[in-house]
């Protein structure tokens, strides 16, 4: 007899992970697929980072480490956070863990069963399931193109109840590709202080901003003790498979969060942490080169999408996504399926990002310029 908990039953698997599996299967069968689907940079991890991991392996650095991370990595992250994010962080404020797991740890540690968590609609696919797995109630607040995909403080204020415990925000955002303005973040932090809420700020796309400036809510007055700042290496350093990121929080929170880390993954892989130090301390040229290429791809995709004549969008300021609205009267899942089956172009349907995502498709431009041109041409044939 199987009994699956109601918490697990309340969520579905990740549609983007499933789609990536399907694309891999199609390719293995020899089918040509162009993927605009997965949020994964196509660049190799920079050589100096790979070298640092190899060196650690050769030196026998292959055992458990301190659960919260090796001291030199926590030190490097604390320095980066202080200098770049305006949050005066010390190593004791840092927990090293895969980014997704950081969010899972923060949500599980800070909410009780039945507590409400405000999340943007549309938003990254995993926030809602993470809240549900923690026994919480996701409260979706519209963050559509009308507000440039920002969570406006007016709509958040209208959604706050006695059970609200947390706001999850993400700037630059997935799927909108927008960068929250300072005023918007100030409005959200004021609400958090007025209503005694936590903010979980997912800043994984922080280094991919083409226009605008990044602001961390944890740096705003009186916000340090009520903000968990989440970040990671996957996107900036093209390290998705290394599974390493971090969170920044007040020390008493870190000691509670550490319990989940200690009883689940224990620690991040030892040699991966050495590579992560090299990422933060090493040369910045490879990162600049990837950024420059992303910007060129963004401009190419903007031109190509406009040329198709059915997509409505503003040029995204950050991350590596377009989330245009299309003019056809068809559901986004059906449209994405048609494009994959008929011309072998994989896209993520807007509805996967929340009800307000319906009528949109998400295009990731973490793929070559050649594929962008070819893929858009193929889409044009179907449309």
Ligand X SMILES: Cc1ncc(COP(=O)(O)O)c(C=O)c1O
Pattern 31-70, ligand X, x by CB under 6 A: --------x-------------------------------
Element (H, E) at 378: helix 369-382
> Rounded to the nearest whole angstrom, what is the least distance from the CB of residue 119 to ligand X in the complex?
11
204 binds ligand X (CB under 6 A): yes
Closer to ligand X by Cβ: residue 81 or 174 = 174
> Rounded to the nearest whole angstrom, what is the least distance from the CB of residue 383 to ligand X in the complex?
27
98 binds ligand X (CB under 6 A): yes
**Of 369, 367, 362, 334, which is closest to residue 348 (Cα–Cα)?**
362
> Rounded to the nearest whole angstrom, what is the least distance from the CB of residue 174 to ligand X in the complex?
4
What values do phi and psi take at 227, rounded to 5?
-125, 135
**Of 214, 143, 220, which is closest to residue 179 (Cα–Cα)?**
214
Could you tell me which stretch among 94-102, 193-201, 293-301, 323-331 binds ligand X (CB under 6 A)? 94-102
Cross-strand pairs, 307 = none
Distance CA 202, CA 63 (A): 30
> Rounded to the nearest whole angstrom, what is the least distance from the CB of residue 98 to ligand X in the complex?
5
Cross-strand pairs, 229 = 201, 248
174 binds ligand X (CB under 6 A): yes
> Rounded to the nearest whole angstrom, what is the least distance from the CB of residue 342 to ligand X in the complex?
27
Could you tell me which stretch among 71-79, 92-100, 263-271, 294-302 binds ligand X (CB under 6 A)? 92-100
Distance CA 58, CA 178 (A): 42
Distance CA 13, CA 129 (A): 9
Residues in contact with ligand X, total (CB under 6 A)?
Answer: 13
344 and 375 in contact (C-beta within 8 Å)?
no
The number of C-alpha atoms within 13 Å of 306 and in the hemisphere containing its C-beta is 8
240 and 69 in contact (C-beta within 8 Å)?
no
> Rounded to the nearest whole angstrom, what is the least distance from the CB of residue 173 to ligand X in the complex?
7
Task: Give the residue, chosen from 150, 202, 206, 352, that forms a contact with ligand X under the rule CB under 6 A.
Answer: 202
Could you tell me which residues come within 8 angstroms of residue 371 by beta carbon, excluding any fewer than 6 positions away? 34, 35
Closer to ligand X by Cβ: residue 160 or 364 = 364
Distance CA 41, CA 327 (A): 29
Task: Give the residue, chosen from 129, 177, 217, 232, that forms a contact with ligand X under the rule CB under 6 A.
Answer: 232
Query: Segment 253-292, which members bind ligand X (CB under 6 A)?
Result: none
Binding interface with ligand X (CB under 6 A): 39, 98-100, 124, 170, 174, 202, 204, 232, 234, 240, 245
């Amino acid at each position: 007899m199987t009994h699956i908990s109601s918490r697990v039953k309340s969520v579905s698997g990740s549609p983007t992970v499933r789609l990536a599996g399907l694309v891999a299967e199609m390719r293995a069968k020899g089918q040509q697929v162009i993927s605009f689907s997965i949020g994964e940079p196509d660049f190799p991890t920079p050589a100096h980072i790979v070298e640092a991991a190899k060196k650690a392996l050769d030196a026998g650095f292959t055992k458990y480490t301190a659960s919260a991370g090796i001291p030199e990595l926590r030190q490097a992250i604390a320095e980066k956070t202080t200098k770049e994010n305006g949050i005066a962080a010390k190593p004791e404020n840092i927990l090293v863990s895969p980014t997704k797991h950081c969010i899972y740890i923060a949500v599980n540690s800070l909410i009780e069963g039945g507590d409400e968590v405000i999340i943007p609609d549309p938003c990254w696919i995993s926030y809602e399931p993470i809240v549900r797995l923690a026994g919480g109630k996701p409260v979706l607040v519209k963050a559509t193109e009308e507000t440039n995909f920002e969570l406006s403080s007016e709509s958040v204020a209208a959604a706050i109840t006695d059970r609200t415990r947390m706001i999850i925000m993400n700037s630059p955002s997935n799927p909108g590709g927008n960068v929250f303005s300072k005023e918007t973040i100030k409005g959200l932090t004021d609400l958090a202080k007025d209503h005694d809420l936590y903010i979980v700020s997912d800043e994984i796309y922080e280094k991919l901003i083409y226009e605008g400036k990044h602001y961390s809510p944890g740096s705003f007055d009186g916000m340090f003790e009520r903000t968990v700042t989440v970040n990671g290496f996957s996107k900036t350093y093209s390290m998705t498979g290394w599974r390493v990121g971090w969170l920044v929080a007040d020390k008493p929170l870190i000691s509670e969060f550490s319990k989940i880390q200690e009883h689940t993954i224990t620690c991040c892989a030892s040699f991966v942490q050495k590579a992560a130090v090299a990422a933060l301390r090493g040369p910045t040229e490879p990162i600049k080169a990837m950024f420059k290429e992303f910007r060129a791809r963004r401009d190419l995709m903007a031109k190509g999408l406009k040329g198709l004549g059915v997509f409505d969008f503003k040029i995204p300021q950050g991350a590596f996504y377009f989330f245009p609205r299309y003019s056809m009267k068809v559901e986004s899942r059906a449209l994405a399926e048609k494009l994959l089956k008929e011309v072998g172009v994989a896209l993520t349907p807007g509805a996967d990002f929340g009800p307000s995502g319906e009528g949109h498709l998400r295009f990731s431009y973490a793929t070559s310029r050649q594929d962008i041109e070819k893929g858009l041409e193929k889409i044009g044939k179907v449309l």
